[in-house]
Structures are given as C-alpha cells and as structure tokens.
Amino acid sequence: MKEALIQSILGEMQKHIDCNQMVILKSTLQACLAAFDVKEIKCCENTFKTENEKLLKTFISAKKIEGCSEKTLNYYHKTIEHFLQTIETYLTRIETEQIRNYLYSYQESHHSSKVTIDNMRRILSTFFAWLEDEDFISKSPVRRIHKVKTDSLVRETITDEQLEQLHDNCTEKRDLALVDVLASTGIRVGELVRLNRTDLDLQERQCIVFGKGNKERFVYFNARAKLHILQYLETRKDNNPALFVSLSAPHSRLSISGVERRIKQLGQKLNLEKVHPHKFRRTFATNAIDKGMPIEQVQKLLGHVRIDTTLHYAIVNQNNVKLAHKKFLC
C-alpha cells in the first residue's frame, strides 16, 4: 500500500517536475514514509459524490459562459451524471478501463446505436479534457478511447414532389408559411421558433436568425415563402411578436415540439415517412450544393462553424455522379 501511495504521488507530479527531480522526490517519500504504516481507508460515499457534483456543476457553468445552449448543457449534465452514478468513485481516480466498460455495458443494456455511444464518448472526452485543463487531473483517461466507427448511411431528403404534396394538403395558412420558411431558408427548428415578425424584411426576402451560441446571421426565403407569410400574417388578430404562434387562443409562440408535431402530422396524412423539420434543413443543403452553390456559402447560410459539418448534411446526387462519370471517364 505504501508503494502504491508513492506511485500515485509520482503520477500526479510527473508533469510538473523533470526526471532528476522525480528520482529525488521518490527517494524522499520512501525515506519519510519508512517509519509509518500506510493503510487504505475507503472513502465515504457522500464525500466523493459531493466532490463529483461540485466539479460537474463547475464544468456546466464554464460551458454556459462559453455560450452553449440550454439543450446542450442539459445533454452534458444528464450524460455525465449517469456516468458518475454508475462509476461511484472520485473523478480523479477514474481510469480508462472503467470508462470503456461503462460504455460497453450501457450499449448492451440499452441496445444503443454506435452514434449514441460515440456521442457519450465525446461528451466524456470534453469533460475530462476540461478537468485536465483546469489541473484537477494530470491526464484525461478518455484520451486512449478512440472515436467509435459508425455506419455511413445515405440520409433521405424531401423530394420536389413531396414538397408539393405538403403544400397542397396544408389547410392552414400558417402551415403553408411554416413549410416554406423551413424549405427555403434551411434554418434550424430552434431558430424558427425564436423568429419575431420584426426580424423579417419582406421587401428583401430576408430575416435575421440567432443560431447556436447566440450568433446572428441573415437567411433568405423565396417568393413563394414571402407570399404565404403575408397571407398568414393577414389572418393574425393577436399581438404576439412571434412569427409563428398556435392556431388557438391565446395564440402563444410555437415551441420546438409544437413545430415537430405539426410537421409530422402533415407527413402522416400523406403517408410520407420521417417528415420532420431537420429533414428540410438537410434537403436545403443538398439542393444548394447539387445546383452548384459554393460550399462556403452553404456553410454561411446554415450557420456552421466548421465546413465539415456542412458536408455532413449534404448528399451528392447519384444522377450527377453518373453524368460526371460519363463526361470525364468514358
């Protein structure tokens, strides 16, 4: 036990002192502890839980200051909290193998996809990297856990025909405007529900949206969207500043779940599979790139920090690949 204590101290000090100093420290510790009997005392459960909760709270506060959304913060908190409840030890004592076993057990018990497990790994990596940066630990135990390889699936988009079907079956002017704004701007559903009437410049067919991290940008809508927005606003009798509100009184601002539910209902009426707001965003990116818009401009419209994220949303049209092959290789 004495030797384990010495090794633990040396491990904590290795990034602060050089090799010669490490040798001196080791011999000093051995000499000082020679006359003592060292025994391990199991830590009190409440003690490590309190310490872990304190560090988690500090981490969440740091991320909030950095501009992370409430949704992201809640995802961080929920994922890390579940992990800590399972491990039940001091954060500073957690090892790589414990994290690997946790991820494996979680996947087996919850039948989780590879994407879910990799998201959990990424969150834990962010957390432990922060602990390392703040000098709570000497080295992140997640460093040696590599990205989970996931299947590369072709994600479907909304076809022109399906979009026309959605238009033809909208019985409410609000829903027509909703579908057109999603389709022609490619904005996130969270950005859509935050839109106010004053954010729109109907003359220029543009509006200001606040994206992730409260970053402001302009997006643009087409003539059909403008027409349906005007028709919808003419039916409004309420004073709510929100662009999109509920159909029934008191006409409150639509929520993210409200938009998702409505779009899903519209799709179900037509027996269209998996129609949701994010599918409009993916379709927008795909069509823009497919029609020759430079990827940097698509990135700007979507509000992505990294261009890799934009490419992830875009799907190359297989017909164009075929035509390109005939043009350049046949």
For residues 164 and 306, membership in a common domain is answered with: yes
How much is the average pLDDT of 196-210? 94
**Contacts of 147 by beta carbon, 8 Å cutoff, 6+ apart:** 118, 121
Length, in residues, of the chain = 330
Q: Are residues 198 and 308 in the same domain?
A: yes
Same domain, 225 and 312: yes
Among 98, 133, 168, the domain boundary falls at: 133
| Residue 12 confidence (pLDDT) | 74
Does any domain span residue 145?
Answer: no
d(CA 202, CA 89): 58
Residue 315's pLDDT is what?
A: 60
Assess if residue 139 is contained within a domain. Answer: no
103 and 238: one domain? no
For residue range 47-56, list pLDDT tens digits in order. 888 889 999 9
Angle at 230 between CA 224 and CA 232, to 5 degrees: 100
For β-strands 216-220 and 200-201, DSSP reports them as unpaired
pLDDT value at 269 more than 60: yes
152, part of any domain: no
At 290 the three-state DSSP class reads helix
Which CATH number goes with the domain that contains 99?
1.10.150
Establish if 330 belongs to a structural domain: no
Residue 329: inside a domain, yes or no? no
Q: Is residue 63 part of a domain?
A: yes
Lowest-confidence segment of 37-46, 129-138, 191-200, 201-210 by average pLDDT:
37-46
Domain C-terminal end among 91, 114, 133: 133
Residues 125 and 216 in one domain: no
**Same domain? 60 vs 110:** yes
- pLDDT band at residue 109 using 50, 70 and 90 as cut-offs: very high
CB 257 within 8 A of CB 265: no
Query: Which pLDDT tens digit goes with each residue over 154-183?
Result: 578 898 999 999 999 899 999 999 999 999
Give the model confidence (pLDDT) of 179-192 as tens digits: 999 999 999 999 99
| pLDDT tens string 66-97 | 888 888 899 999 999 999 999 888 888 899 99
* CB of 60 closer than 8 Å to CB of 77: yes
Based on the fold, state whether residues 182 and 273 are members of the same structural domain.
yes
More confidently predicted of 17 and 241: 241
Say yes or no: 83 and 206 in one domain: no
**What's the pLDDT at 4?**
73
Same domain assignment for residues 25 and 76: no
CATH number of the CATH domain containing 258 = 1.10.443.10
Is the full-model pTM beyond 0.85? no
The verdict on residue 250 lying in a domain is yes
The verdict on 193 and 279 lying in the same domain is: yes
146 belongs to a structural domain = no
Spatial strand order of the sheet with 200-201 comes to 200-201, 206-210, 216-220
DSSP-assigned letter for residue 136: S
Report whether the peptide linkage leading into residue 277 is cis, meaning its omega lies within 30 degrees of zero. Answer: no
Last residue of a domain, one of 114, 133, 152: 133
List, in sequence order, the alpha helices (H) in the chain.
Answer: 2-13, 19-33, 45-65, 70-87, 96-110, 114-133, 160-168, 173-185, 189-194, 223-235, 256-269, 277-290, 295-302, 307-313, 318-329
DSSP letter assigned to residue 308: H
Q: Which range of residues forms the domain containing residue 293? A: 160-324
Q: Are residues 181 and 313 in the same domain?
A: yes
Structurally, the chain folds into a number of domains equal to: 3
| String of DSSP letters for 222-262 | -HHHHHHHHHHHHH--S---BSSB-SSTT-PBPPHHHHHHH
Task: List CB contacts of 256: < 8 A, sequence separation 6 or more.
Answer: 189, 190, 193
Q: With the C-alpha atoms ordered 180, 183, 189, 192, is the resulting torsion angle positive or negative? A: negative
Say whether both 280 and 191 belong to one domain: yes
Name the DSSP class of 199: G
